[in-house]
Structure 1
Amino acid sequence: MSGREELLSELGARLFASLPRSDQRRMALTYVRGLLTARGRRSFRNMAACLGGPRLEQSLHHFVSCSTWDWAPVARAVADLMTPVAPPGGWVLRSVVTPREGNSTVGVHKRFLPGSGQVVNAQYAVGLWAGSPGGCYPLAWRLLLPPEWLEDDARRTRASIPDDRRSETPVECATAAYLGLAAELRGTLPIVMDVCGPDMDTAAAVHRLRATGVPFLVRAYRTLHLTVADPALRGLGPGPVSTHTILAAAEGSRRPLMEPVPTGARAARVLTAAVRVRSPHHPVPQAPGSGHDPYDLLLFRARTGPGQSDEVWLTDMVDADPATLLRTTALARQVDDSFRHVTERIGIRDFTGRSYGGWNRHTTLASAAHAIALLSDERKDLPLAAASVAESAPSPAGPGLNSPVMSAS
């Protein structure tokens, strides 16, 4: 028996104690075992073929797509298991876009992907991850449901979408994923929002993240316009300026602002520029630099080794030291690595059913499988999913946009 199998047998009772029937608890173990051991797509058929033959396929389908067991207590059990073992240093909100054929899979809609410049048929979801030096792991998933799913009564009924689900923007979807985690687990750890793309409503993201009352960092793009509140850069004028212009001016001034700080990762990350700014919706004080304003934000650029694209971030942690900023934003790249090497391989994208509950049960069980893989330290032994790791590399638009985007029909 492998270490992974031993661990699954040992922890299964704890992870699935909330399921009311013993046959459901056994099937949950079987499903997670299928996610960890099947080859190719983690479809019901492939997992059944790996575990016990064709007769098991219908049982797996019914357990996830048609059953009524509540996934929320299972997700909480995963969190209770993992957070003491690998304490998070921050919460990472990461988007996952999965192109799909047809329109029957729950949540599929036409969506423009800035990274590819194309409109594709896709599912859009956000994962809430615990970013930890001991290993990153997902704790919750939220599917974005567009108006065409929620305003079509027949479609909504067929997918068994709850009455309380409403249409959301990507920012609203991400924030709801964070708030869905129990408050005692969230604590005061910073939020790292790495979702959407250049078309993201960053002002809305800042507004919603401020409302959580915890520190936050949100990925910014060169098209974003901000008002400079740094007295050393008054030459840029009082109006909104693009982040690209602001950071170019800061780097060109050669101010001794912040020294490069290594993070101890595979490649040293350095902070090359940082400027105090404000959203255009909030006026700059008449005397910039006269004192801290509650609306002040810090715009900064982080640079990682050769061949890596620069990252631009916006944060309310205006007085944080460079090492803290770099260490916290590095969590986003660590989550990307974990997604590619674990979550992708166990088939997080592979549910193609019509059921809203089925999608949530599948992703919750995938989180449980991810936890088992991480704890057993057998991540490198996971069979490949539908595409190779190389095929699922982040898009040039940045790892938080939709990376990795992989076709899944």
Structure 2
Amino acid sequence: MISTSSRRRRGVMVPTLDVREEVTAARSDPDAVSRFCAALLASLPRADQRRKGELYVRGLLTASGRKTMRNLAAIADDPAAAQSMHHFISCSTWEWETVRAALAGHLDRTLSPRAWVVRSMLVPKTGRHSVGVERRYVPALGETVNSQQSYGLWLASETVAAPINWQLSIGKGWLQDNRARASVPADEDGTTSDGAAVQAVLKAAAWGIGPRPVVMDARHSALPPLIEAFTTAGLPFLLRISSGCTLLATGPGPRENRVAAASAEHLLSLTRAQRRPVEWIDPASPGARRTSLVAPLQVYWPGLSGARPPGPPAPAPPGAARAAAPGLPLTLLGKWQTYERGVRQMWLTNMTDAGYGPLLRLSKLTRRVETDFSQVSLDVGIQDFEGRSYQGWHRHVTLASVAHALRMLEGGAAG
């Protein structure tokens, strides 16, 4: 059975789950959805809300095609179900953050994740009435797209990944024109894309789940707010960066105290002789073994010389004077394919004591997230909310994340 006792995590009441019994139930008990939802939705104040929550999750798991209110309500033998579920999602009063905290605590124990992976979710829209929709330039596409953008925080291991938190990117201009219509709360003052990514991480960190390295493809992001926020929060990070990112490095030999600024690509071109092969198992193709060439280089991030990486400082040799660092010490990791001359990927991390093999394998967890997003999240309708309410969007992606977790349990992925 699932234990529905609760414990408080920094102000949020989180139902606790008996993980082993719940996983077994999900595989063999036809009422596993009811049992799972009963625990995760225990914070909803009314019994009718909890019933509608379970009905919504069942609809996400079983309805074919787009997860519209009509399709979701079709599993209920009630002509008024669509209107009732619309009110439950868009106009009700239940708090989605408490449900997310419960889901995060459960999956943190079930999956034994190795990382928190941040993934952007861009949803092109034809109209302009959905919450947060505006025309924005998308670097990955090289064009301006009318779209809604959010960031999901995923718990990821080599075998499975699941989202636990979401944050919308809402421009201040859109917010000024649409706050009342979209029922956006007064404490939401608008966020850039990078700010939304940071908030998705920091809000989840406040739930008390075990901290993991934050892994993110940040090639099209502004690095300063990411690095400064994660450093201030004491979180380890591993960020994929663009080739033109400027970093500080010290010169070799007698000029080792000379600090120079150069692009990540140029700095890594100087390490080709230090490249070493690392074997890794592809999370996107379980069992497939691949080999890449990698090389690390110590660099510095300017402007954060007073900060240091997580963990205890390295001891100085006896009698040695500690020179002032030109910035935050980081490791720049380059990855090459064995048959290519140019560097394929560049990653920046504050885990300066980690081996380059573990760092490379950690970076590959983004492939696990991409796989499970495509094969699970899209199938349970993570992008299908068509309402205009800020509250409704957050409640929908919360229950879609619950459905994602249940789909994994159905397939035995979490066991």
TM-score for both structures, normalised by structure 2: 0.80
The corresponding residue for 1:322 is 356
Q: Does 1:274 align with 2:296?
A: yes
Q: Deviations over 1:312-359 (max 9, x none)?
A: 211111221122202221221111111111111111111121111000
8 Å CA contact 1:4–1:372 kept in 2: the answer is no
Structure 1 gap ranges (5+): 284-289, 380-409
State the identity %: 37
Change over 3 Å in CA distance of 1:64–1:282 after alignment to 2: closer
Q: What is the alpha-carbon distance in structure 1 between the residues aligned to residue 169 and residue 132 of structure 2? A: 7
Q: How many residues align?
A: 364
Residue pairs, 1:8-407, within 5 angstroms: 8-52=33-77, 54-152=79-177, 155-183=178-206, 185-195=208-218, 197-198=219-220, 200-229=221-250, 231=252, 238-251=259-272, 254-255=273-274, 259-265=276-282, 266-281=288-303, 293=325, 295-303=328-336, 310-377=344-411
Change over 3 Å in CA distance of 1:247–1:160 after alignment to 2: same
The corresponding residue for 2:13 is none
Which has the larger strand fraction? 2
- Alpha-carbon deviation of 1:131? 1.2
8 Å CA contact 2:278–2:294 kept in 1: the answer is no
Structure 2 gap ranges (5+): 1-25, 283-287, 306-321
- Alpha-carbon deviation of 1:85? 1.3
Which stretch shifts more, 314-323 or 28-37? 314-323
Change over 3 Å in CA distance of 1:184–1:68 after alignment to 2: closer
Q: Deviations over 1:279-317 (max 9, x none)?
A: 35468xxxxxx879461111112357999x933211111
8 Å CA contact 2:104–2:209 kept in 1: the answer is no
Query: Using CA pairs below 8 Å that are at least 6 residues apart, which structure has the higher relative contact order?
Result: 1
Q: What is the alpha-carbon distance in structure 1 between the residues aligned to residue 203 and residue 63 of structure 2? A: 31
Equivalent position amino acid for 1:158 in 2: R
Q: What is the alpha-carbon distance in structure 1 between the residues aligned to residue 66 and residue 300 of structure 2? A: 46
The corresponding residue for 2:20 is none
Which has the larger helix fraction? 1
Q: Deviations over 1:230-274 (max 9, x none)?
A: 627979x954322222222322xx13xx52221233242534222
Q: Deviations over 1:36-81 (max 9, x none)?
A: 1111111112222354465321122111011111111111221232
Equivalent position amino acid for 1:259 in 2: R
Q: What is the alpha-carbon distance in structure 1 between the residues aligned to residue 193 and residue 169 of structure 2? A: 7
- Secondary structure, counterpart of 2:270 in structure 1: helix
8 Å CA contact 2:100–2:165 kept in 1: the answer is yes
Change over 3 Å in CA distance of 1:274–1:3 after alignment to 2: same
Q: What is the alpha-carbon distance in structure 2 between the residues aligned to residue 299 and residue 347 of structure 1? A: 37
8 Å CA contact 1:230–1:276 kept in 2: the answer is no
Change over 3 Å in CA distance of 1:292–1:83 after alignment to 2: farther
- Secondary structure, counterpart of 1:27 in structure 2: helix
- Secondary structure, counterpart of 1:157 in structure 2: coil
- Secondary structure, counterpart of 1:240 in structure 2: strand
RMSD of the alignment, in Å? Answer: 2.8
Equivalent position amino acid for 1:7 in 2: A
- Alpha-carbon deviation of 1:21? 1.4
Q: What is the alpha-carbon distance in structure 2 between the residues aligned to residue 270 and residue 186 of structure 1? A: 32
Q: What is the alpha-carbon distance in structure 2 between the residues aligned to residue 144 and residue 270 of structure 1? A: 35
TM-score for both structures, normalised by structure 1: 0.81
8 Å CA contact 1:233–1:250 kept in 2: the answer is no
